[in-house]
Structure 1
């Protein structure tokens, strides 16, 4: 969503001044709030926290009980510190917005803090793109929840954040960790994912974000689509586009969450409009009549969340101006859109049953003919405990997976045993472990690495433990052996991964098995063995999934002893695939 600094409309300032006495009184009476769940259906327009307006003052003036606060960002790319608007002078602390939020909560409302925003997603200062430590990202989400006693966090994912695959995985892993933390501490914590849309639903990058969330065990409570800024070059009927985008999203969600009913899928839908004239111009104008149409449609479909960008635009102070942060650009009364949408909020949130699933350890290595075990644990994520049936898929030929017991009550665990035969081929295999209950299903990945049997079996070298050069960096990978991979090899950053100390008893030709990820396309890599380079093409591992590990066997010539060096780099400016391990 936009983040542009502009002068505030005079009418907004006057409205805030008129409400100031009431705000002060409610703030003084505010008491510590709890993480009260939001209504089953909630209207929460975005509040531009970066321009100095009073949060509680505008809430009172506009009559909005619920607001989405934009945005929380890191001050610089590479930082793991979360601040309001990326400004170190406004950190996540009770001293910054705490009394305003407490005032809103004391009046029966709440806020939804939002991480990201277009400027952060474009500049690398969304915390999931900026910070490479998943635990630190999760801690930032948890800090916001506890500091302000909120029950939902919004993640605004657009522009470069939709294609930063490492950031996408980190974000979803951190959400899964924060959700597990909330469950363990008896807190209510929801996550909404806000993404741009076409008039027929999300594009492929948005779908991939949600697919990765499933793969990483992150529960997405609301998929919130921004139904504006289409840039089609034609005049759009914005209410019609909203309805078609929402219907398209539900179809996409049905493919990602096949166990959910149609009503449950609509209950995952969020809609964010840009009231008045959007950034494209007058051909994309959301009118006051459109608001009435969308409100009726959203109620009929059971949409979870309505919002708009942005509260400070909800006035008619700049008729004919598009894309302003301080006015809608159309003739309207002050707070007309707020008043139109406010009746949407209501209903009691029913906490349904849900569970989480994990495997520990998340990977194991065996020689062909051997077996490995892991503990598959479940936990009650919400509601009550339920029966969870365990299954597995993706085991290599000749291998079997057994669970003891094969069904557990959520909160209990099972022992998973993966048994191989002498015929099981060497390689790295992501095994999908799925738990299925009445409430739905969840999956986690266990990575099995199989080596050849006998005393001459090879050795595995993790890429994350190798010497990294240039832009190459190690990051989390739940499907990879050891839980890590190396990305940004080659490309403009000239990233390299160098394995030193590769040891063999005798000189000769050996088979090197490379475990890697190449999502969406085949990628070349230059492999240099003891100074001799050649380019090798790595096939695509999956069109969109980051849970599928590919293996490629490459013949290498090695010296006797432990002085062998194997380096991976890019071919020209082309990036190489992400690297998990090599086994020689």
Structure 2
């Protein structure tokens, strides 16, 4: 995530029958059914996730940096995890893998049993496509694959294999100015939403986009304008309120508040022209970087700002809170900027997670 440089859910058995028997609602006979659905049973049966609660904290986790995700969820107190990242193994491919690793396909046998254990404790996961690495190597699936239907099938496969109800799309770096990829992504979202409605499966998408302290830049607004053009419904827009790279010293709490406030106006101007103020706020998500971000000490989100940000977001009706990243939530490297394994600030282990977890129990 480095930025520089309701339809009712159906039961598992019924869902599997629907997904393996039916082509996507928007597919023609020539396109056929989803070719990625398994032709033989997986060794792992993934339990269905419940539709996400109205307000939740879902810290990002770099799946390449951790061991067992369920153990991490339990130890940190983070019920919900945003999982980074799904991307293709090479530019030009239409098949996503976890971190682009071909040994980790979208399969029930890859992470499925860990997801079951997270769900057994009342939590869930949000798979995320894209991220900085994918967005700078043309391996974000919407940049890599030029066939909208194949992109849609890849998203549908994640929904069906892992029984999730939300996919996150992290669009930054080169991807956020790739207009062809932006349009393909939104057309694919719209196709998947038609497929979900036809099969009575609750699907939703969030966008995670770079931000300035004054809200989305023009490139981020263009992503939402494209979504409106192609009738892609976006459940949540997360502003990345870090890595500003403008040379200024920032109060990260204040800047997150101003960015989120500005986003409500931008949502009104793009994807939600008729929404009430409450509905606009409920489409806002905030993603911080715990501790010192990639720029350096001038952009430090300290632990003592975490609880106030959660309280402010709760009072305004924000939908999701997150930070990059859970594996950084320890004080193992004070003074270090942009580490992927520690926050760079002095802190107890899991202190940011515990502060953000309070958001789960809040009701607007």
Q: Same fold (TM over 0.5)?
A: yes
Deviation at 1:32, TM superposition (A): 4.3
State how far apart, in whole Å, the 1-side matches of 2:84 and 2:46 are. Answer: 23
Higher helix fraction: Structure 1 or Structure 2? 2
Aligned 1:420-431 pairs, distance under 5 A: none
Q: Which structure shows the bigger proportion of residues in strand conformation?
A: 1
1:318 aligns with 2:326: no
- The aligned residue for residue 156 of structure 1 is 170
Does residue 2 (structure 1) correspond to residue 2 (structure 2)? The answer is yes
Contact between 1:39 and 1:348, CA under 8 Å: does it hold in 2?
Answer: no
Contact 1:36 1:188 in 2 (8 A): no
Superposition CA RMSD, Å: 1.6
Partner of 1:363: none
Aligned residues: 324
Query: Structure 2 unaligned runs (5+)?
Result: 4-43
For 2:266 and 2:98, the matched residues in 1 are separated by: 33
In 2, the alpha carbon distance for the partners of 1:183 and 1:174 equals 14
Deviation at 1:347, TM superposition (A): 6.7
Kept in 2, the 8 Å contact 1:40–1:346? The answer is no
Matched residue, 1:266? 281
Q: State the structure with bigger RCO (CA 8 A, min sep 6), 1 or 2.
A: 2
Say whether the 8 Å CA contact 1:72–1:114 is kept in structure 2: yes
Counterpart contact for 2:295–2:337, Cα < 8 Å: yes
1:254 aligns with 2:268: yes
Match of 1:67 in 2: 81
Partner of 1:134: 148
Aligned equivalent of 1:114: 128
The residue number in structure 1 matching 2:193 is 179
* TM-score between the two structures when normalised by the length of structure 2: 0.87
1:23-72 deviation digits (Å, cap 9, x = unpaired): xxxxxxx9742241111001000011123422111111111110000000
Kept after mapping to 1: 8 A contact 2:205/2:236: yes
Distance 1:204 1:59 in 2: 36
Distance 2:100 2:113 in 1: 20
2: distance between equivalents of 1:333 and 1:234?
Answer: 28
**Secondary structure in structure 2 of the residue aligned to 1:345:** helix
> Residue 302 of structure 1: CA displacement?
0.2
| 1:536-575 paired onto structure 2 within 5 Å | none
Please state whether the residue corresponding to 2:85 is helix, strand or coil: strand
Check 1:347–1:240 CA distance in 2 against 1; reply closer, same or farther (3 A cut). closer
How far apart, in 2, do the equivalents of 1:315 and 1:52 lie? 13
**What CA deviation, in whole Å up to 9, does each residue of 1:454-479 have, x standing for no partner?**
xxxxxxxxxxxxxxxxxxxxxxxxxx
Provide closer, same or farther for how the CA distance between residues 32 and 75 of structure 1 changes in structure 2, counting only shifts above 3 A: closer
SS in structure 2 at match of 1:123: coil
Gaps of 5+ in 1: 4-29, 350-584
Match in the other structure for 1:125: 139
* Aligned with residue 294 of structure 2, among 274, 279, 287: 279
Report the secondary structure of 2:298's partner residue.
coil
- Scaled by the length of structure 1, the TM-score of the pair is 0.54
